[in-house]
Structure 1
């Protein structure tokens, strides 16, 4: 595990969502408490592991599509989590080396790993903002050091908003999307009410877990226009873009959805 500064409070006596997610993905940057909680939750719903992996492949496909087909060169990733290769900037800069990427998270271990691992190609840039995603005004201010808000930006909020109670997601998105230029994009993935027992476990352990149905998730996109195929399970979102990817079957179809939408160009 990457060396941590003495002042970092990692809260190793309680599970943390980013570290538990790392466990689901088969990573190594988590603690015993995270692994024990993750194993308990997988006992409730073993499909969480393929769901997490499908969500990661959705990130790779969606970022690749936006960089390649829509010419997006600026990316803002909310709730980054622990680095898992390929990371967003690796996908974007693999297509367009000049791409600029800003990561946002507020977990100390994520911060340390981001500083150590999320390094840009010389032609582009990456930055990391240590902030709670609900502090969106601060995020916009600091992201402007790297990103030009007068030009399109692709915002990712993957496996994030089900950790926030209403009305926080809608409020922060309204403020953020109002600052984005026409032609910008918003990507969201979110679990569905079928995971109510999992949400209850997270709520008990971390005080986190807010379930929303498809209509409520779709409403988070506001007036952005969903790209085809709309709001679907992660493994069903443009699978032809990743023909070699090992995607799960329909066992995760009712557990979560994702989508990418574009801010209208008037």
Structure 2
């Protein structure tokens, strides 16, 4: 099977022998008929690492939410701004949980624009996301991908890649962009475990889907994700103080992501159209 080039959509429906793809995942590792949020997100951003089922799911989202592309793009823009904020605070190492499929605006892209020596560890358990990230990072010595579930902090924190690249005696930027809404369980203990690893001066950046201003529309969105590999769980901005226990939330607080320290061209007249709130906190 020839090596697939970036710019081609993944579609292995014609290859049913279970062979291993050159970038490192087996066809048996991935149920291509079941949409996956990471790959849906990739397609929404204009990426190429998705299957027909993911594209179909995103077009279903567009039917109930015409702003679906605005949602994913606004979140990605927040992530870039949060990385830059961390660098301005002197943070030069990042742990990106639930990093998803590599596409426009990765953490290391944003970080290396300001500091080529910044170190980044990505974490994702989705085989396509991990395989493509691994390939993307082949020539990036200051970056790595761990194929683990972020809900298993011990596996993440004890991974060889984490030990090689991150020094937890120094501040770390913990990035959790558009990932906690895929965790249906109580996330407070999960956050507490990662928080214990961080020294004062570390930062955590969280963005999260909410249904608080558009409940009827978001119920339709929820129904679509119920048919994917990972259902969605909404949490309102009022939960921010709980999620940021042990951190001082910086200005402007928990706001829709297009409002968080956005450039003029990134702002929206109706910020709630992003359906994602965002905040950044500094550990005290």
TM-score (norm 2): 0.85
- Where does the alignment leave 5 or more consecutive residues of structure 1 unmatched? none
The 5 A counterparts of 1:201-216 are 201-216=224-239
TM-fit CA distance, 1:207: 4.7
Q: CA deviation at 1:93?
A: 1.6
Q: Which residue of the partner structure matches residue 196 of structure 1?
A: 219
Q: Which of 249, 261, 264 is the matching residue for 2:281?
A: 261
* Corresponding residue SS for 2:40: helix
For the pair shown, which has the larger CA radius of gyration, 1 or 2?
2
Q: Please give the per-residue CA displacement for 1:197-220, whole angstroms capped at 9, x wherever unaligned.
A: 212221233351111121224311
Residue 48 (structure 1) aligns with = 68
Deviation at 1:247, TM superposition (A): 4.5
Q: Which consecutive unaligned segments of at least 5 residues does structure 2 have? A: 6-21
Q: Deviations over 1:64-113 (max 9, x none)?
A: 1211x211111000001111233111111221111111000011111111
Residue of structure 2 in register with 1:186 after alignment: 204
**Structure 1 Cα separation of the partners of residues 155 and 23 of structure 2:** 25
Q: Which moved more, 1:113-122 or 1:135-144?
A: 113-122
Change in CA separation of 1:226 and 1:120 when aligned onto 2, cut-off 3 Å: farther
Secondary structure in 2 matching 1:97: coil
How big is the shift at 1:249?
A: 3.6
Structure 1 match to 2:177:
158
Contact 1:97 1:121 in 2 (8 A): no
Find the counterpart in structure 1 of residue 97 from structure 2: 78
Report SS of the residue matched to 2:47. coil
Report the Cα offset of residue 162 of structure 1: 0.7
For 1:7, the equivalent position in structure 2 comes to 26
Aligned residue among 249, 261, 264 for 1:226: 249
Residue matched to 2:156: 139
User: For 2:146, which of 129, 134, 152 is the aligned residue?
Assistant: 129
TM-score by length of 1: 0.90
177-186 or 212-221, which deviates more: 212-221
Distance 2:261 2:65 in 1: 25
Question: How does 1:13-92 map onto structure 2 within 5 Å?
Answer: 13-67=33-87, 69-92=88-111
Q: Distance in 1 between matches of 2:25 and 2:233?
A: 33
Q: Distance between the aligned counterparts of 1:108 and 1:151, measured in 2?
A: 31
Q: CA deviation at 1:43?
A: 0.6
Paired residues of 1:182 and 1:263 also in contact (CA < 8 A): yes
Per-residue deviation, 1:26: 1.6
Query: Secondary structure of the equivalent of 1:206?
Result: coil
Q: Which residue of 2 aligns with 1:170?
A: 188
For the residue of structure 2 that corresponds to 1:204, the secondary structure is coil
Distance (Å, rounded) in 2 between the aligned partners of 1:75 and 1:18: 20
Q: Tell me the number of residue pairs that the alignment of Structure 1 and Structure 2 aligns.
A: 257
Determine which of 137, 147, 166 is the counterpart of 1:118: 137
1:196/1:211 contact within 8 Å kept: no
